Structure 1
Amino acid sequence: MSEPGTVALRAPQDGSVQAIAFSPDNKRFAGGGSDTRLRVRSIGIGAPPLEVTTDGSVTGLDFSPDGTRIAVADFEQVFLRDGTTGTALWQGPLAPGTSVNSVRFAPDGHLIAATDTLVAVLDQASGETTRRITVDPPLIADVDLSRDGSRIALAVDERHGGNHRHAGSARVHDLATGKELARLTPQDAVFTVAFSPDGLRVLCCAADDTTRMFEAGTGKQVWSAPEEPDEQVTAPSCLAFDPKGKWTVVGGADGFARVLDAETGDERGRAPKLNPGSPADQSFGAVTHVAFSPNGKHAASASIDNAVRLFNIEGKELYNVPTEEVLALRFSPNGRWLGVGTMNGALVIDNGEANQG
């Protein structure tokens, strides 16, 4: 039995890895990025490695629910590939001359892909676009799909374009009709969004240094995270929901990942745990990525001090693994593995048998 924090797989690449995905059976790990290669590796003993040449930088990956296909956001196109051979089943752009930033499967089998300005719903069999949701002014900074696949949340950064104003919003759209259902408008750009497991609420982080929870159906704010007692600016920029809906984790520029109560926004714990005045605790940096394990007991964070941490809801650290600069962070479906995409490849960290499920 391996110790939590053991690196189970290393997948070097000649460039950055900004898109990663695990197969539904937890046995395969896919990564892609700037070196125009899609690589799929078995974790432990399994199928032989698969390597596919791509058109450009890979920015998004997702396995189909049955694991037989892989959706790839490949420069200006979306590819649907056979999960065993890598053969392209179909390909196509969402809009000519526009890069695709993300792609994922909905529960009904459709693909959801996004660029800076639009979200497209694609038929899996043909690649045909069945619905478009456009955003004006751009930029779509992040998207999240509700668990049942009926709604999509958008983080919108309105600082771009001719007016250069400091503005943004978090929006919820019905995927079947494209209709906007709710909107929350902080004082600045919205960086990221996440649905609660039941799809009734949305959490968002904004450039006005706030973390807010709002109702997905109305846009009514439920809470805004309380300010720090010492008035330190936390500058939240990444977040995730506990799959059970009880907790959220939020990372910020102050170097902490905070676990918040999903009902109230009150802080339950934070990582790393610091010893006041200790020189060893002065080297941590801004948190850039966070994720919650499927069992809801642990969260992971990556920060610019080149460390990946796994910790419980109280902030107690289970491991700290040195890495290069992290560009992607994702748990396997069973929580046993933590995938990490970095500036020079990818790795899979073993969380231990006791921490899966």
Structure 2
Amino acid sequence: MLNWLANMKSPMLPWEVIERIVSHCDDSQTLRSFTLSCRQLYPRSFCFLVARIDLMSRDDVFAFCEHIQANPHLGPLVQELTIDLADFAPFPLLYILPNLSQITFISRGGHYAPFSHRMHQSIFACCQRFGTGIRTLRLTRMNSWTFQNLSRILLAFKNLRVLVIEDVHKFVEMGGNTGHTQAIVQRLSQQLRLQSLAVTDEWLGDTREVALLLESAQSSLERLSLGVPYSEKESYVAHLLISTQPTISTWTPLRFLTLKTRLNSKDIAGIIEILNGFHPPNLKHVTLDMKLDAIGKLIQWMGGAGRQSRQCHQTEQALLQFPHPEITFSIKNPIRSYRIGFWNHELGIRLPILRERGKLSVISQSDKTPGHDAWVQCLVYSPDNKRVATGSNDNTIILWDKEGQISRQWVAHAGNIRSLAFSPDSQYLASAGEDELAIWNPSRSAHEVAKLDGHIGSVNSCAWSPDGTVLASGGSSGEVRVWDARTFQLLHVLVDPHHSHNVWFVCFSPDGRWLASGGWHDNCCLWDVVVGKLHKVLRDVEPFRTPAFNPESTCLAVASHLRMVGIWSVQTGESLFEFELEQHTMGVSDVAFSLDGKLVLSASYDMTVKIWDASSGVLVSSLEGHTGRVNAARFSPCGSYVASASQDGTVRLWKMSDGSCASIFTEHKDFVQYVAFSPDGDTLSSGAADGTVLVRRWREFLA
């Protein structure tokens, strides 16, 4: 708004409106620029600019004091002061700033000395004399505080009404002098008249020191905001709040309560305990603020796809005991702006009453780029070329059309989506998640057709046979399961000691007879699908990603993080040849055969893609230009191009004719994990670590 006003030659709004905008501005740099272009507002803007002072060092303190003494008319304009506790000199700061009402004590540059070493008794005396105007005190990034020293500074500002404690490194463990501690609590209870208290750190909010502070302030607090975890030891705050129920009159002023917590079962259990046991007579407004890094963890706690967990129901019922309940979900990672409505709907399924009352909200920075709200774990095309399916750590599956628009999206699992596979007729989509293997009908509003139970632990991978008759899945227990794709009944459980770790991939040969399985730090196993038995073991290859069968199903190319690229005979299980190790200086992340089977590519952490002759193992060309490791690469169906995805945030398109780079796609802002051509070769899709997914008609970008 200010930028718009600044660019106007003649403001069309009344000056009163513009002044109101200036009053609410929190961007000092923009305000300074605006002031220079609108001289009429200079006095008002200048007052705003000097209302909040941040002193970065002791030299700044001295320079600031000298400036105020030389310009005494500026002193009354300062209302808020931020200063390092080590640099704080109450006289003359408090003396020359008569209208100062808020102080923020912050520790900068690694100042982590104990609080008792910072302030002499004379400083407290000075604060008592000259700090009568201080109403708000913020303590941030402090360290090694004791309850005694915290009490001294609270008592120094005798008219203090608002206290905020945030990002405090720790409280020093209290000693055993209980009588002395109780004397401090009694003195605080008599003199402290806090109306608002906020302790923002979850782990700090359950300490004994905070409980004592609450005990001291309970007779005057009107607003209380706490980050409260559930402690396996004694829960000091929960014990204080619940145990004061018989004498609840001491909490009579309290009207607003906000409880903040990280999203895990133990923390929520503690919150529910407080909500069920703490009911001051005038407490009307109760807000539960759930903090988490990614939206997927929230859905996991809430019961997964379309379900409500028992603890979720208990949370809602506990909040509904109060006249004005509210629950907010503060997501650290940005959420796609067009998916806010989607997430509100999904959360509303699990918290229906709060949704109906309009008391459920998601708070996050918004991102307008298309995609998921967390890491893209898998990307596959449907064989009929009509759809692209992506799965993510946000627990959702998104179906995209060929124009790159979302056609459907849904919460599929209670955990990360690990793998996706379309049936050969494109009628079904299999998804492997941390909880189960699921089958979906994407043509019928993503209707769930079946859940295939039996894996112990998470399901990491899935694949459909080329003829569509069987489905394979690999799990964290090291076993592979083969299912009848028509009845979804279990056919075989493939277990072998050579799979001692997670089975991260399963892959059918083009003729459907063989199934390859394996994972990091493991061997690669070849199974005979018809008889359901182990055929061969490729030892010590430690494949990084899914290996690749040649079109004739006679050879298997395997990439290893041990810098090896090898081609193995499917029939004998013997190594036909290993490509020259010196060609890749770091681990190999991906391999793929060309459509005619004559060439093999290998993508590597050394930032290159190598093209090899599949029959001789001779290096044909090296595609160089990425500035980060290459995570995936694929031949185009026509065989004339190669697409590669890199941790440098780009997708590159290479010409096979001369190895030159034909185009660079830079839309992603994070590591690009997957790249794939549509079966008909019309589109090229990619997915990145920041959740973005892009479907592009790549020929339009050719130079």
- Structure 2 length normalisation: TM-score? 0.44
Which residue in the other structure is 2:489 paired with?
128
Q: State yes or no: 1:149 paired with 2:512.
A: yes
> Residues 158-197 of structure 1: matches in 2 within 5 Å?
159=521, 168-186=522-540, 189-192=542-545, 193-197=547-551
> Residues 32-47 of structure 1: matches in 2 within 5 Å?
32-44=391-403
Amino acid at match of 1:293: S
Distance 2:404 2:533 in 1: 47
Which residue in the other structure is 2:662 paired with?
318
- Would the alpha carbon gap of residues 138 and 226 (structure 1) be closer, same or farther in structure 2, given more than 3 Å must change? same
- Would the alpha carbon gap of residues 129 and 146 (structure 1) be closer, same or farther in structure 2, given more than 3 Å must change? same
Which residue in the other structure is 1:6 paired with?
none
TM-superposed deviation, 1:354: 11
Distance 1:288 1:70 in 2: 25
> Residues 1-357 of structure 1: matches in 2 within 5 Å?
11-44=370-403, 49-55=407-413, 56-84=415-443, 85-96=445-456, 98-109=457-468, 110-116=470-476, 117-136=478-497, 137-157=500-520, 159=521, 168-186=522-540, 189-192=542-545, 193-228=547-582, 233-272=585-624, 284-313=627-656, 314-322=658-666, 323=668, 324-343=670-689, 344-352=691-699
- Would the alpha carbon gap of residues 45 and 30 (structure 1) be closer, same or farther in structure 2, given more than 3 Å must change? closer
TM-superposed deviation, 1:146: 0.2
TM-superposed deviation, 1:224: 1.0
Indicate if the aligned counterparts of 1:153 and 1:195 stay in contact, CA closer than 8 A.
no
1:201-248 deviation line (CA, Å, top 9, x unaligned): 11112243211111011012111112437xx62422211111210001
TM-superposed deviation, 1:262: 0.5
- Would the alpha carbon gap of residues 104 and 353 (structure 1) be closer, same or farther in structure 2, given more than 3 Å must change? farther
- Would the alpha carbon gap of residues 120 and 45 (structure 1) be closer, same or farther in structure 2, given more than 3 Å must change? closer
Amino acid at match of 2:450: W
Indicate if the aligned counterparts of 1:76 and 1:94 stay in contact, CA closer than 8 A.
no
Distance 1:70 1:181 in 2: 28
Distance 1:42 1:237 in 2: 28
Report the structure number with the largest CA radius of gyration: 2
Distance 1:326 1:148 in 2: 31
Distance 1:24 1:336 in 2: 13
- Would the alpha carbon gap of residues 268 and 145 (structure 1) be closer, same or farther in structure 2, given more than 3 Å must change? same
- Would the alpha carbon gap of residues 169 and 45 (structure 1) be closer, same or farther in structure 2, given more than 3 Å must change? closer
SS at match of 2:531: coil
Amino acid at match of 1:352: R
Distance 2:692 2:622 in 1: 28
Listed as ranges, the gaps of 5+ residues in structure 2 are 1-368
SS at match of 2:511: coil
Distance 1:345 1:233 in 2: 30
Which residue in the other structure is 2:360 paired with?
none
Amino acid at match of 2:638: N
Distance 2:634 2:458 in 1: 26
**Structure holding more strand per residue:** 1
TM-superposed deviation, 1:297: 2.4
Indicate if the aligned counterparts of 1:259 and 1:315 stay in contact, CA closer than 8 A.
no
Indicate if the aligned counterparts of 2:460 and 2:503 stay in contact, CA closer than 8 A.
no
- Greater relative contact order: 1 or 2 (C-alpha under 8 angstroms, separation 6 or more)? 1
TM-superposed deviation, 1:353: 7.5
Amino acid at match of 1:155: G
Indicate if the aligned counterparts of 2:461 and 2:504 stay in contact, CA closer than 8 A.
no
**Structure holding more helix per residue:** 2
TM-superposed deviation, 1:90: 0.8
Which residue in the other structure is 1:164 paired with?
none
TM-superposed deviation, 1:45: 9.3
TM-superposed deviation, 1:199: 0.7
TM-superposed deviation, 1:142: 3.1
Amino acid at match of 1:67: S
Distance 2:440 2:534 in 1: 32
TM-superposed deviation, 1:49: 1.7
1:296-332 deviation line (CA, Å, top 9, x unaligned): 2222211111111121334222211122212322221
TM-superposed deviation, 1:284: 0.8
Amino acid at match of 2:611: V
- Would the alpha carbon gap of residues 175 and 250 (structure 1) be closer, same or farther in structure 2, given more than 3 Å must change? same
Distance 1:23 1:33 in 2: 17
TM-superposed deviation, 1:190: 2.8
Indicate if the aligned counterparts of 2:506 and 2:515 stay in contact, CA closer than 8 A.
yes
TM-superposed deviation, 1:156: 4.4
Amino acid at match of 1:309: R
Amino acid at match of 1:199: S
Amino acid at match of 2:571: G
Distance 1:151 1:353 in 2: 38
- Would the alpha carbon gap of residues 272 and 45 (structure 1) be closer, same or farther in structure 2, given more than 3 Å must change? closer
Distance 1:170 1:12 in 2: 33
Distance 1:201 1:154 in 2: 15
Distance 1:191 1:24 in 2: 25
1:72-91 deviation line (CA, Å, top 9, x unaligned): 11322111111212111111
SS at match of 1:190: coil
Indicate if the aligned counterparts of 2:462 and 2:506 stay in contact, CA closer than 8 A.
no
- Would the alpha carbon gap of residues 88 and 11 (structure 1) be closer, same or farther in structure 2, given more than 3 Å must change? same
Indicate if the aligned counterparts of 2:637 and 2:679 stay in contact, CA closer than 8 A.
yes
SS at match of 1:101: strand
Amino acid at match of 2:465: A
Deviation larger for 344-353 or 304-313: 344-353
SS at match of 1:27: coil
SS at match of 1:12: coil
TM-superposed deviation, 1:258: 0.5
- Would the alpha carbon gap of residues 135 and 340 (structure 1) be closer, same or farther in structure 2, given more than 3 Å must change? farther
Amino acid at match of 1:288: N
- Would the alpha carbon gap of residues 301 and 286 (structure 1) be closer, same or farther in structure 2, given more than 3 Å must change? same
Indicate if the aligned counterparts of 1:90 and 1:126 stay in contact, CA closer than 8 A.
no
Distance 2:450 2:495 in 1: 23
